[in-house]
Amino acid sequence: MKLRKWQIDCVQHALQLYNEQQHFMCLATPAAGKTLMAAELSRCLLKSNKIDFILCFSPSAEVSNSIRATFSKRLGNEFNGMMGSIGNALTYQSMASLSPSFWRLLSSHRVMVIMDEVHHLKGHEFATPNAWGEEVLTHIQNKAAYTLALSGTPWRSDKAPIVLSKFTEPDNTIHCDFVYGLHNAIEDGVCRTPRITLVDNDNIHLTEDIESHTFNSISALLDGSSFNYSALLHHPEVMLYLLSLGVNKLTETRALSPNAGGLVVATSIQHALRLYDMLVNDFGQSACLVNSQMKHPSSIIEHFRFNDTQWIVSVGMIAEGTDIPRLQVCCHLSRIKTEMHYRQVLGRVLRVDDSRNKVAWLFTLAEPSLIQFAYNVDTDLPDGGSVVFEQNTQSIDLSISSGSQHANNPQNYEDKPESFHVANEVILKLGPRELQSKHCCVEEEANYNLAMLGDFKQQIVRLFG
């Protein structure tokens, strides 16, 4: 596989710095090809007889499997930890179960240790690490011949320091030895251009018992009432509308790229089941489900990677490092509202393949944090990007009745699916096509009634041109 220019530059820079230091930190935008760069760097160190073995650690089994395949192909050798192999890829979770004899390899041999998505490792001293960070500080720091840290999002949501990282004064930001940003990746044709669509509504009526309030945006609703974001994500018409945008865009994309796929990021297993049901029964789409409670989630992901199923609905499985280049559209309905998670989800649809389409779409609600994250991606540009506001004139009527405890505690939506049953019929108007779908409301004495009577508006953040 031919290396990209940034990968060649990064390898050369790392080889130079390794003459002076043992650790190298690479920040490259999600989907840029960090694993291949790491494999090439390892190949160069092996060729120059500076290392004997390579150990790679990552946050999930899916990513570890992908690393094994990439390293084996690039190095021309087995990479599975078995006799005769040149190394292995393991998860951070497995560190605690590795035997003392395993860790002694770092003292008896020259080992290159690669830590993928290093932001998972908290701590720069023994007083503050998390479990994974402590394993690195105990067994790897000052013992590995060389270490390589990789990340697409070089910060933690809790703002804690990242293990083995150097920090710059006075703002205590992380020091990266090599940086390859999204702007560069798009200019080089390494990543697709993102289009982030923020969906809002300008006429929301909320009734609690006998009190009624009207809000002109989702932000105003969340700020001015106890109806929270997670409850909104479970609203049938919100789910239907976001999915309709994704389905329409994927249909348009597949006209150019017949194998293009879509990702739906759900907030819980029950939520994922409802979204899956809507995709299949309301929109007539082909889809599959994947979550951590399934027996063989890695097999489901691997099968989807190479087939032509339109959608995969995931609860935390299609995350950082998961390599599915045919993903080009994403509906983000997760309750997680951290910038790290947001960028990792966006990265799942940025990876290029040989298709004609070079644009990636992310659909999400116009929740205040998510709005800010979208514009933060925009401001990563050295020369700034452009933001275009568009209003969708399609009309939509929707309502939901729920107990006040559901507005305050959306866990009731997720953990008690039996509390839902068919109680009303809702019609979603989508231009020439009209979809009828039966959805539920929850019977409670004291209840909220949410009616979004205004037009859904779309603010489309057009990045990089």
Number of other CB atoms surrounding residue 384 within 10 Å: 9
pLDDT category at 167 given cuts 50, 70, 90 is very low
Q: Tell whether the torsion through CA atoms of 221, 227, 228 and 232 is positive or negative.
A: negative
What Å distances lie between residue 332 and 245, 269, 337, 375, CA to CA?
12, 15, 11, 16
Angle between helices 61-75 and 297-306 (to 10 degrees): 50
Residue with the bigger pLDDT between 254 and 401: it is 254
pLDDT above 70 covers what percent of the chain?
71
Strand order in the sheet with 399-403: 211-215, 204-208, 447-452, 399-403
- Same domain flag for 155 and 257: no
- Same domain flag for 167 and 203: no
- Same domain flag for 297 and 326: yes
Specify if 272 maps to a domain: yes
Asked if 270 and 414 touch (Cβ cutoff 8 Å), the reply is yes
Specify if 239 maps to a domain: yes
- pLDDT score of 46: 98
Boundary-marking domain end, from 129, 148, 180: 180
Alpha-carbon gap, residue 127 to 390, rounded angstroms:
50
Specify if 245 maps to a domain: yes
Alpha-carbon gap, residue 350 to 326, rounded angstroms:
10
- Same domain flag for 240 and 165: no
Report long-range pairs for 431-436 (Cβ below 8 Å, ≥24 apart): 431/394, 435/240, 435/244, 435/282, 435/283
Asked if 429 and 373 touch (Cβ cutoff 8 Å), the reply is no
- Same domain flag for 91 and 210: no
Most confident of 115-119, 136-140, 219-223: 219-223
Tokens 């009207």 map to which residue?
A: 214
pLDDT category at 461 given cuts 50, 70, 90 is low
- Same domain flag for 457 and 310: yes
- Same domain flag for 380 and 447: yes
- Same domain flag for 176 and 195: no
**pTM assigned to the model:** 0.77
Q: What is the pLDDT of residues 258-308, one digit of tens each?
A: 999 999 999 999 999 999 999 999 999 999 999 888 888 888 998 999 999
What is the dihedral angle through the alpha carbons of 105, 106, 107, 109, rounded to the nearest 10 degrees? 70
Number of independent structural domains in the chain? 2
The DSSP annotation for 239-285 comes to HHHHHHHHHHHHHHHHHH-TT-EEEEE-SSHHHHHHHHHIIIIIS--
Asked if 387 and 462 touch (Cβ cutoff 8 Å), the reply is yes
- Same domain flag for 175 and 194: no
Over 80: is that where the pLDDT of 175 sits?
no
Alpha-carbon gap, residue 5 to 224, rounded angstroms:
50
- Same domain flag for 158 and 204: no
Asked if 219 and 366 touch (Cβ cutoff 8 Å), the reply is yes
Closest CA to 55 of 72, 83, 79, 74: 79
Specify if 223 maps to a domain: yes
Domain with 265 in it: what CATH number?
Answer: 3.40.50.300
Closest CA to 152 of 171, 129, 178: 178
Distance of CA 402 to the CA centre of its chain: 30
Specify if 324 maps to a domain: yes
463: DSSP letter = -
- Domain span at 72: 5-180
Boundary-marking domain end, from 159, 180, 201: 180
Closest CA to 319 of 294, 299, 349: 349
Asked if 100 and 139 touch (Cβ cutoff 8 Å), the reply is no
Mean predicted confidence (pLDDT) in 102-108: 88
Report the chain's terminal Cα–Cα distance, integer Å: 29
Alpha-carbon gap, residue 157 to 277, rounded angstroms:
32
Residue spans of alpha helices (H) in 325-419: 339-347, 368-379, 404-408, 411-415
- pLDDT score of 132: 45
Asked if 225 and 215 touch (Cβ cutoff 8 Å), the reply is yes
Specify if 185 maps to a domain: no
- Same domain flag for 157 and 297: no
Alpha-carbon gap, residue 420 to 422, rounded angstroms:
7
Distance of CA 173 to the CA centre of its chain: 23
- Same domain flag for 198 and 118: no
The residue type at 53: F
Boundary-marking domain end, from 160, 180, 200: 180
- pLDDT score of 326: 95
Specify if 311 maps to a domain: yes
Specify if 38 maps to a domain: yes
Report long-range pairs for 219-222 (Cβ below 8 Å, ≥24 apart): 219/366, 219/367, 219/368, 219/371, 222/367, 222/368
Q: What is the pLDDT of residues 202-234, one digit of tens each?
A: 888 887 777 788 888 889 989 988 888 998 999
